[in-house]
Amino acid sequence: MELRLYPSVNDLPKAVWDASFSTGYPFLTHGFLEGLETSGSTGNQSGWQNCHLGLWDDDHPIALAPGFLKSHSYGEYVFDWSWADAWHRSGLDYYPKLVTGVPFTPATGPRLWTDNEHPDAQRALISAVTDWCASESISSWHILFPDETTSTQLATAGLMQRMTTQFHWFNRNYSDFDDFLSAFNSRKRKALKKERAAIAAQNLQLVTKTGSDIREEDWAFFYYCYQTTYLKRSGHQGYLTGDFFTKVCPQLGESTVMVIAHEGVKPVAAALYFVDDDTLYGRYWGCLKEFDFLHFEACYYRGIEYCIEHGISRFDPGAQGEHKIQRGFEPTLTYSNHWVAEPRLKDAVADFCRRDCDHVRRYRDEAATLLPFKQES
C-alpha cells in the first residue's frame, strides 16, 4: 500500500472522492473543498496548506481523508495553544502540524473514509500517516470533529481523545414552533415569545431563501455583513474570502440556506446555513446595525422553524454559546483525536486529555439541568 499526498484537492479524482464521502455532509464534497482552495481561503498565506491523504493499493483507494498542514492553530475550534507553548518551552517546534478536518468549520461529520472490503484500512491509514509525520518532522496529527463512533475507533487505535461541548437542537417531531415551545416551562416560554415579538416591534422582517433562490446581490450583501461583523468583533475581515461567498457558494446548490433581515425595505443582517438530509448547520452571521434579539431570531429561531418545516432532525448552530441552553439547544459532546510524535510530551498530553474529558462530561451533565423544558413528573 502507498500513502499519497495531494497538495490540491484538484489532484484528487473528483468522482472517487465524492463517491467515498457520499453521506450528504456538505463540507467534505469535492466542490466545497475546491471552493475553499480556489477562493484563497485555504492555501497560499492562509496557514492551511492543502495536504489531503490517500492510501492506495495500486490503482484502488483503500482510505481517504482531508488534510492540511498548519502553521498556526486559528480556525480549528479545538484549542491547543497550551500544547504549542509546551513544545516551545521544551525547545521543540509544534508547527507544522497535520489537521484532518474542515477549515473554519466545527461541525461533526465524516473525517476518514475506508474501504469496507479492507477491514484493516483504518489502522493501515493511521500507521502510514503517523510514519510519514515522524519522517517529515510533523509534530502531531489532529482529527477534528469526527463522529463519536470514529472517535472511539481512533482512541482504541491509540489516538488520544478529547471532548468539547456544543449546543444542538433536536426535532422531537414538532408540528410547528408553538408545538416546540409547548415543551418549555411557562417562564422560559414567555421569555422566548417576548424576544420574537420584539422583532416585529423594531420594524424587522425576515425572509428565508434556499439554493437557487439566493440571488447574486444576496451573496454580495451577506459577505459585506460577514466582513463588517468580523472586523468589529475581531479586528480582521474573517477567515473566508469574498470569492468564497460570491463565486463558490452559489455553485453549492440546495445545500445553502440564507436568512435575510430587513428594516423596512433595507437589508440590515443575514445568516447563512448549510443543510443535508439530516442536519441544518448554522455557520455565519453578520449585521450592519444592532437590534434587540435579531441574532437569536435569524440564527436560532428561523433555523428551528426551517427544521420543523422540512423534517430535519438536528440543528447544529455552531460552536460555543451557553445562551443557547435556555432556548432549547441541548448540551452535546463533540470529539477530536490526537497523535503526537514527541515521546517526552506524549504522556503529559494523554493525561491532559483524560482530565479534560472528565471535566467536559461533568459540564455537559450540569448544563443539561438548565434546559427550559418542563420537568417530567
pLDDT digits (tens, 9 = 90+) for 177-232: 999 999 999 999 999 999 999 999 999 999 999 999 999 999 999 999 999 999 88
- Nearest to 274, CA basis, from 247, 294, 254, 302: 254
pLDDT digits (tens, 9 = 90+) for 273-291: 999 999 999 999 999 999 9
Is 148 in the same domain as 7?
Answer: yes
- Residue 169 — very low, low, confident or very high, per pLDDT cuts 50/70/90? very high
Residue 375 belongs to some domain of the structure: no
Residue 186, CA distances (Å) to 191, 269, 373 in order: 9, 31, 9
Count how many Cα atoms sit within 13 Å of the Cα of residue 237 in the half-sphere of its side chain.
8
Is 257 in the same domain as 162?
Answer: no
Residue 82 belongs to some domain of the structure: yes
Residue 321, CA distances (Å) to 140, 170, 274, 300 in order: 29, 17, 19, 12
Distance from the first to the final alpha carbon of the chain: 59
Residue 323 belongs to some domain of the structure: no
pLDDT score at 13:
87
Is 181 in the same domain as 121?
Answer: no
Residue 186 belongs to some domain of the structure: yes
Is 216 in the same domain as 340?
Answer: no
Query: Which letter, b or e, does each residue of 327-342 get, where b requires 16 or more Cβ atoms within 10 Å of its Cβ?
Result: bbbbbbbbbbbbbbbb
Cell numbers for 51: 495536504
Is 61 in the same domain as 206?
Answer: no
Give the chain's domain count: 2
**50 close to 68: Cβ distance less than 8 angstroms:** yes
Is 158 in the same domain as 215?
Answer: no
Is 337 in the same domain as 246?
Answer: no
pLDDT at residue 320 tops 90: no
Mean pLDDT of 337-347: 96
Mean pLDDT (the chain) is 96
Mean pLDDT of 16-21: 95
- Nearest to 319, CA basis, from 348, 285, 277, 356: 285
pLDDT score at 375:
84
Is 220 in the same domain as 124?
Answer: no
Q: Output DSSP code: residue 246.
A: I
pLDDT at residue 376 tops 80: no
- Nearest to 70, CA basis, from 42, 50, 97, 41: 97
pLDDT digits (tens, 9 = 90+) for 29-71: 999 999 999 999 999 789 999 999 999 999 899 999 999 999 9
Q: How far apart are CA 202 and CA 182, in angstroms?
A: 26
Query: Which letter, b or e, does each residue of 200-231 get, where b requires 16 or more Cβ atoms within 10 Å of its Cβ?
Result: eeeebebebebeeebeeebbebbbbbbbbbbe
Is 220 in the same domain as 306?
Answer: yes
pLDDT digits (tens, 9 = 90+) for 101-152: 999 999 999 999 999 999 999 999 999 999 999 999 999 999 999 999 999 9
Here the CATH number for the domain that contains residue 107 is 3.40.630.30
Q: How far apart are CA 240 and CA 74, in angstroms?
A: 13
Is 117 in the same domain as 240?
Answer: no
Residue 161 structural domain? 2-167+332-368
pLDDT > 70 fraction of the chain, expressed in percent and rounded: 100
Residue 107 belongs to some domain of the structure: yes
**Cβ-count burial of 41 within 10 angstroms (0-12 exposed, 13-18 middle, 19+ buried)?**
buried
pLDDT score at 377:
57
pLDDT score at 213:
97
Is 138 in the same domain as 203?
Answer: no
pLDDT score at 366:
98
pLDDT score at 117:
92
Residue 243 belongs to some domain of the structure: yes
Cell numbers for 375: 420537568
Q: How far apart are CA 269 and CA 222, in angstroms?
A: 8
- The set of residues, in sequence order, having a beta carbon less than 8 Å from that of 336 and lying 6+ positions away, is 78, 142, 143, 144, 145, 146, 151, 161, 162, 163, 164
Is 152 in the same domain as 177?
Answer: no
Residue 374 belongs to some domain of the structure: no
**Cβ-count burial of 295 within 10 angstroms (0-12 exposed, 13-18 middle, 19+ buried)?**
middle
Residue 325 belongs to some domain of the structure: no
pTM of the model: 0.96
pLDDT score at 92:
96
Cis ω before 96 (30° cut-off from 0):
yes
For residue 187, the tally of other CB atoms under 10 A from its CB is 10
Q: How far apart are CA 226 and CA 206, in angstroms?
A: 17
